[in-house]
Chains A and B, each alone.
Chain A
Amino acid sequence: MTATYTSDEMMTVAAARQLHNGTVCFVGIGLPSTAANLARVTSAPDVVLIYESGTLGAKPDRLPLSIGDGILAETADAVVSVPEVFNYWLQPGRIDVGFLSAAQIDRYANINTTVIGADYHHPRVRLPGAGGAPEIAASCREVVVVLRQTPRTFVDRVDFITSVGFGSGSGDRQRLGLTGSGPRVVITDFGILSPDAETCELTLVSVHQGFSAEDARAGLGRCRQDGLRGAPPRGYTGLDLPHGTYCHGRMVVERRYRTMTPR
């Protein structure tokens, strides 16, 4: 039997693989939370999950359905106030990895979650806004961005910089005084991009199993696509996890496969 899976599941697994035992991770709800908990129940049982609702070291035995789910407070090492989460834990650099998503991202990994359209006061689409993201992007030691890949998400310039990736290129983070090192990987439903070591431009470096390099290159805007360098894609070998995967917002103990649905 051939293993099949949805592209969201592949993104979740790829994100989970960014976390290791002992990693202190600032988690947002949705796919980042699923990925972080997947890592915790499989490959990285000692990953430390911090939610911006103030729960430090949460160990939920089901997937939390919101950032302030009671299961997070009941299973946390400590529950602190929101000012304390940002001032004591995030700002001084105590958090290793921040997970972020985006409505738009540009080739220097700057993120927009505020407005679509050039005029802030008359937006075409009003998005939710910043939340914790600007300071997560600034102060976590590194950032993992997870988003679905479409021509609308990867743009030349974001309409609004909500959270800084690499600004307008190499050296900008240092000039701005941002303490963290910025996005390390951008995980999409097709593959993985990393910033170029010199220019900081996002570069496609890996393609998920089941997709071709051509699939992955479509819709990447002005991101660099020469990172594969003709070699076979460093694809993942499927959802090979000891305790199965997550589906539909709940923990599934037995392995489950569903039909992959690439666009």
Chain B
Amino acid sequence: MAEIVSLPDGIAAVVNDGDTIVMEGFTHLIPFAAGHEIIRQRRRDLTLVRMTPDLIYDQLIGMGCASKLIFSWGGNPGVGSLHRFRDAVENGWPLPLELEEHSHAGMANRYLAGASGLPFAVLRGYVGTDLPAQTDTIRPITCPFTGEVLTAVPALSPDVTIIHAQRADRKGNVQMWGILGVQKEAVLAAKRSLITVEEIVDSLDPKPQEVVLPSFATTYVAVAPGGSHPSYAQGYSLRDNAFYTEWDAISKDRDTFLRWMEANVLQTESVA
């Protein structure tokens, strides 16, 4: 059964130096508070996995927490570049960043295989592109029934998956709704999981198109109100689109970025 813990205790329990970690959330419900706690705990040498690295991984990369990134689209949505990601890839600052690059369809299927307990997934994808030549985890496979050549990608089975959700009950059952991306698959694919929530309630009344992660399927739950800002939690907060735009100037310059992180992440306390 999931244990309800504080966010700092939860991060300390699930994230170790050198781990492969997933923090998912497709625009919606991105677990920023948890990411900031990882930065405060100064974890190092992480393999970061996420379809869209977004600002959260830009911050982790710029703070030197990562040595490798497994991803499919690394931009600031609607704004432009992720400057810390680019600086790491183009100039090796603050550390070189190894890339394992996929498409969205490939990443989604890798999580699906992980959640399903399978070693790989099959899809029609990547054919004719230059991605297989650069990414070792994209290989052709022949269908044993029709002889058709398809593409195989290996399962993702991270050490830990961290997501943000709307609510949990006191037993640790987690309820989320709205755009849910690959979060369920990512949690079920992982060895350990930590779910931050807006609030803990006595009972979970049904919501349209909800997903409930049963308490027995997760490891830790931590309360982190507003923990997805500048992303959003449907029913609780709105996306801070202005901050996504402001991040472009904050992150463009190394010193400006470091000063911002010092004032807004390192010198702050965890919310719970």
- A interface list, Cβ under 8 A from B: 29-30, 52-55, 65-70, 72-73, 78-79, 81-83, 85-87, 90-91, 114, 120, 122-135, 138-139, 160-164, 167, 172, 176-179
Contact = CB atoms under 8 A, between A and B. Distances in A.
B90 A79 contact: no
Interface stretch (B35-43, B181-189, B247-255): B181-189
Given A67-B27, A126-B89, A132 B103 contact: yes
A29 B87 CA distance: 25
A163 B182 CA distance: 23
B94 interface: no
The listed residue with most B CB atoms (<10 A of its CB), out of A83, A87, A134, is A83
Contact of A178 (B71, B128, B148): B128
Contact of B105 (A90, A124, A176): A90
Contacts of B78: 29-30, 65-66
Contacts of A164: 127-129
Contacts of A177: 124, 127, 148-149
B129 A83 contact: no
Interface of B: 26-28, 51-52, 71-75, 77-78, 81-82, 85-86, 89-90, 101-105, 108-109, 111-112, 123-131, 134, 148-149, 178-182, 184-185, 209, 232, 234, 238-239, 241, 244
Given A83-B108, A87-B109, A126 B90 contact: yes
10 contacts: A78-B209, A83-B185, A86-B108, A87-B112, A91-B124, A120-B134, A127-B75, A129-B71, A138-B127, A161-B130
Contacts of A176: 127-128
A160 B128 CA distance: 11
Contacts of B238: 70
B74 A81 contact: no
B129 A161 contact: yes
A134 B86 CA distance: 22
B104 A131 contact: yes
Contacts of A90: 105
A90 B109 CA distance: 13
B108 A134 contact: no
B131 A130 contact: yes
Contacts of B148: 177
Given A86-B104, A123-B90, A134-B131, A68 B74 contact: no
Nearest to B30: A68
Contact of A130 (B85, B104, B108): B104
A129 B180 contact: no
B130 A68 contact: no
B129 A162 contact: yes
Contact of A83 (B86, B109, B125): B109
A126 B86 contact: yes
Given A65-B78, A79-B209, A131 B127 contact: no
A83 B239 contact: no
Nearest to A81: B180
A81 B112 CA distance: 11
A114 B86 CA distance: 12
The listed residue with most B CB atoms (<10 A of its CB), out of A90, A120, A176, is A120
B184 A81 contact: yes
Given A67-B27, A81-B184, A82-B26, A135 B179 contact: no
Contacts of B185: 81, 83
* Pairs A-B, 3 closest by C-beta atoms: A68-B27, A128-B75, A131-B73
B179 A68 contact: yes
A185 to B, nearest CB: 20
A87 to B, nearest CB: 7
Given A125-B90, A130-B102, A131-B72, 8 more contacts: A70-B28, A79-B180, A83-B185, A86-B123, A129-B72, A129-B74, A132-B104, A132-B105
A73 B166 CA distance: 15
Contacts of A125: 86, 90
Nearest to A160: B130
Nearest to A177: B127
